[in-house]
Structure 1
Amino acid sequence: MKFGTKAETLELILPVIKSAEVLPQVRLSVKEWNSTCNEIVKKVMKNNWHDIDLIVRSSAINEDSCNQSLAGHFLSIANVKGIENIDKAIRDVIDSFNDNNEENQVFVQPMLKNVILSGVAFSKDPNTGGDYIVINYDDSTGSTSSVTSGSTNNTKVYYHFKEHNKIKDQNLCKVINLVRELEEILQNDSLDIEFAITEEKKIYLLQVRQLCVNNKISHTLELEKNSNLKEALKDIVKKFDQLNIHHPRLYGRKTIFGIMPDWNPAEIIGIRPKNLALSLYKEVITDNIWAYQRDNYGYKNLRSFPLMISFGGLPYIDVRVSFNSFLPAALEDNLSEKLVNYYIDRLIENPSLHDKVEFKIIFSCYTVDIKERIKILLNYDFTEEECIKICDSLRHLTNKIIDGNDGLWKKDIEKINRLEIRRDEIMNSSLDKISKIYWLLEDCKRYGTLPFAGLARAGFIAVQMLKSLVSIGVLSKIDYENFMGDLDTVSSNMANDFKNLSKVAFIEKYGHLRPGTYDVLSSRYDETPDKYFDWNFKEINKSTNKKKFVLSLEQLNSIKELLKQHGLIQDVLGLFDFIKIAIEGREYSKFIFTKSLSDAMYLFKQLGEDNGFNVEECAYSDINIIKTLYSSSKNLKDIFYSSIYSGTRSYEMTKQIVLPPLIVEGEDVWSFNQPSLEPNFITLNNITGKVVFPSESKRLKGSILFIPSADPGYDWIFSHEIVGFVTMYGGMNSHMAIRAGELGIPAVIGAGEVLYNKWKLARLIYIDCANKKVEILK
Structure 2
Amino acid sequence: MPLHFSTKAGTLVTLQESLVSARIAALLSFTVKDWQLGGQACLRDVQGQVGAGPWIVRSSCLREDSAQGSCAGAFLSVPGVDEAGLVSAVEQVIASYGEAHPADEVLIQPMLNNVVRAGVAFSHDPNTCAPYRLVNWSQGSDTASVTGGMGGRLWQQAANSKVPPPPDIAPVITLLEELLGLFDGTPVDCEFAVTREAGDDVLWLLQARQLILSAPAQSPATQAARLDSIQRKVARGMQPHPFLMGQRTVYGVMPDWNPAEIIGIRPKPLALSLYRDLVTDSIWAYQRHNYGYRNLRSFPLMPHFFGLPYIDVRLSFNSFIPADLDEGLAGRLVDYYIDRLLAEPTLHDKVEFEIVFSCYTLDLSQRLERLASAGFLEHELEAISTSLRKLTNRIVHPKDGLWRADANKLDMLSARREELLASNADPLERIYWLLEDAKRYGTLPFAGLARAGFVAVQMLRSLVTVGVFSEADYDGFMAGVSTVSGQLARDRATLDKTTFLARYGHLRPGTYDILSPRYDEAPELYFDWTQRPAVPEPAKPFSLTLPQMRAIVKQLEEHGLQPDPVGLLDFLQAGIELRELAKFHFTRNLSDALALIVEVGAQHGIGREELAYCDISVFKELHVAAVDPKDVLLRSIEQGKARYEETLKISLPPVITRPEDVWSFEWPETAPNFITQKQVTAPVAGSDDRERLAGAIVCIPNADPGFDWLFAYPIAGLITAWGGANSHMAIRAGELGLPAVIGAGEVLYRRWSTAQRLHVNCSGRWVEILS
Aligned AA (1:479): D
Candidates 488, 491, 506, aligned match of 1:497: 491
1:259 and 1:115 map into 2 onto residues whose CA distance is 37
1:35 and 1:704 map into 2 onto residues whose CA distance is 50
Candidates 551, 562, 568, aligned match of 1:558: 551
Q: Does 1:30 align with 2:42?
A: no
1:389 and 1:111 map into 2 onto residues whose CA distance is 66
Check the 8 A contact 1:19/1:174 in 2, yes or no: yes
Relative distance call for 1:182 and 1:543 in structure 2 (3 A) is: farther
Segments of structure 1 that go 5 or more residues without pairing to the other structure are none
2:346 and 2:239 map into 1 onto residues whose CA distance is 24
Deviations 1:389-425 (A, max 9, x none): 2111111111111001110000000111110000111
1:106 is matched with which residue? 106
Deviations 1:701-752 (A, max 9, x none): 2222111113111111111222112111001100011111111111111111
Q: Does 1:137 align with 2:137?
A: yes
Q: What SS does the aligned partner of 2:464 have?
A: helix
Candidates 178, 186, 190, aligned match of 1:189: 186
2:95 is matched with which residue? 95
Q: What SS does the aligned partner of 1:648 have?
A: helix
1:53 is matched with which residue? 54
Deviations 1:476-496 (A, max 9, x none): 111111111111111111111
Q: Does 1:236 align with 2:233?
A: no
TM-score (norm 2): 0.97
Deviations 1:237-287 (A, max 9, x none): 111111111111100000010000000000000010011100000001000
TM-score (norm 1): 0.96
| CA-CA distance at 1:34 after TM superposition | 3.6
Deviations 1:338-395 (A, max 9, x none): 1111111111111111001111111111111111111011221212222222111111
1:75 is matched with which residue? 76
2:535 and 2:737 map into 1 onto residues whose CA distance is 9
Q: Does 1:174 align with 2:176?
A: no
CA RMSD of aligned residues (A): 1.7
Deviations 1:454-493 (A, max 9, x none): 0000000000000111122221111111111111111111
2:743 and 2:535 map into 1 onto residues whose CA distance is 22
1:608 and 1:256 map into 2 onto residues whose CA distance is 39
Residues 203-242 of structure 1 aligned to structure 2 (within 5 Å)? 203-216=203-216, 222-223=218-219, 226-242=220-236
Check the 8 A contact 1:156/1:754 in 2, yes or no: no
1:627 is matched with which residue? 620
1:3 and 1:228 map into 2 onto residues whose CA distance is 26
1:369 is matched with which residue? 363
Aligned AA (2:612): A
Q: Does 1:201 align with 2:194?
A: no
Check the 8 A contact 1:515/1:710 in 2, yes or no: no
Segments of structure 2 that go 5 or more residues without pairing to the other structure are none
| CA-CA distance at 1:602 after TM superposition | 1.0
Aligned AA (1:494): L
Aligned AA (2:580): E
Residues 411-426 of structure 1 aligned to structure 2 (within 5 Å)? 411-426=405-420
| CA-CA distance at 1:543 after TM superposition | 7.4
| CA-CA distance at 1:11 after TM superposition | 1.0
2:249 and 2:689 map into 1 onto residues whose CA distance is 42
1:157 is matched with which residue? 154
Check the 8 A contact 1:608/1:618 in 2, yes or no: yes
2:388 and 2:520 map into 1 onto residues whose CA distance is 44
1:86 is matched with which residue? 86
Check the 8 A contact 1:543/1:744 in 2, yes or no: no
2:181 and 2:130 map into 1 onto residues whose CA distance is 18
Q: What SS does the aligned partner of 2:368 have?
A: helix
1:651 and 1:43 map into 2 onto residues whose CA distance is 57
| CA-CA distance at 1:173 after TM superposition | 2.1
Residues 226-305 of structure 1 aligned to structure 2 (within 5 Å)? 226-305=220-299
1:514 and 1:168 map into 2 onto residues whose CA distance is 42
| CA-CA distance at 1:40 after TM superposition | 4.1
Q: What SS does the aligned partner of 1:421 have?
A: helix
1:2 is matched with which residue? 4
- May I ask how many residue pairs the two structures share in their alignment? 766
| CA-CA distance at 1:47 after TM superposition | 5.3
2:643 is matched with which residue? 650
Percent identity, aligned pairs only? 48
| CA-CA distance at 1:663 after TM superposition | 0.6
User: Which is worse superposed, 657-666 or 625-634?
Assistant: 625-634
User: Which is worse superposed, 546-555 or 500-509?
Assistant: 546-555
1:589 is matched with which residue? 582
Aligned AA (1:393): S
User: Which is worse superposed, 166-175 or 185-194?
Assistant: 166-175
Aligned AA (2:8): K
Aligned AA (1:203): L
2:767 and 2:382 map into 1 onto residues whose CA distance is 41
1:700 is matched with which residue? 693
User: Which is worse superposed, 418-427 or 529-538?
Assistant: 529-538
User: Which is worse superposed, 719-728 or 276-285?
Assistant: 719-728
Check the 8 A contact 1:540/1:718 in 2, yes or no: no
Deviations 1:644-698 (A, max 9, x none): 1100111001000100000111100011111111111111122222222222222
1:710 and 1:743 map into 2 onto residues whose CA distance is 15
2:286 and 2:311 map into 1 onto residues whose CA distance is 17
Q: Does 1:663 align with 2:634?
A: no
Aligned AA (1:771): G
Residues 515-664 of structure 1 aligned to structure 2 (within 5 Å)? 515-540=509-534, 542=536, 547-664=540-657
2:316 and 2:556 map into 1 onto residues whose CA distance is 29
2:536 and 2:17 map into 1 onto residues whose CA distance is 66
Deviations 1:286-316 (A, max 9, x none): 0000000000101111000000001110000
Aligned AA (2:406): D
Check the 8 A contact 2:513/2:612 in 1, yes or no: yes
Check the 8 A contact 1:343/1:362 in 2, yes or no: yes
Deviations 1:73-132 (A, max 9, x none): 11112223x321333322322222222433322222222233333211111111121121
Q: What SS does the aligned partner of 1:320 have?
A: helix
Check the 8 A contact 2:490/2:535 in 1, yes or no: no
Check the 8 A contact 1:122/1:211 in 2, yes or no: yes
User: Which is worse superposed, 237-246 or 579-588?
Assistant: 237-246
Relative distance call for 1:3 and 1:204 in structure 2 (3 A) is: same
Q: Does 1:675 align with 2:668?
A: yes
Q: What SS does the aligned partner of 2:410 have?
A: helix
| CA-CA distance at 1:39 after TM superposition | 4.3
1:701 and 1:163 map into 2 onto residues whose CA distance is 48
| CA-CA distance at 1:753 after TM superposition | 0.6
1:429 and 1:462 map into 2 onto residues whose CA distance is 39
1:128 and 1:48 map into 2 onto residues whose CA distance is 40
Check the 8 A contact 2:28/2:49 in 1, yes or no: no
Aligned AA (2:543): V
Q: What SS does the aligned partner of 2:157 have?
A: strand
Q: Does 1:66 align with 2:67?
A: yes
2:448 and 2:493 map into 1 onto residues whose CA distance is 32
Q: What SS does the aligned partner of 1:426 have?
A: helix
Relative distance call for 1:191 and 1:506 in structure 2 (3 A) is: same
| CA-CA distance at 1:547 after TM superposition | 5.0
Deviations 1:19-59 (A, max 9, x none): 11111112232333344434444422335844x53222111
2:752 is matched with which residue? 759
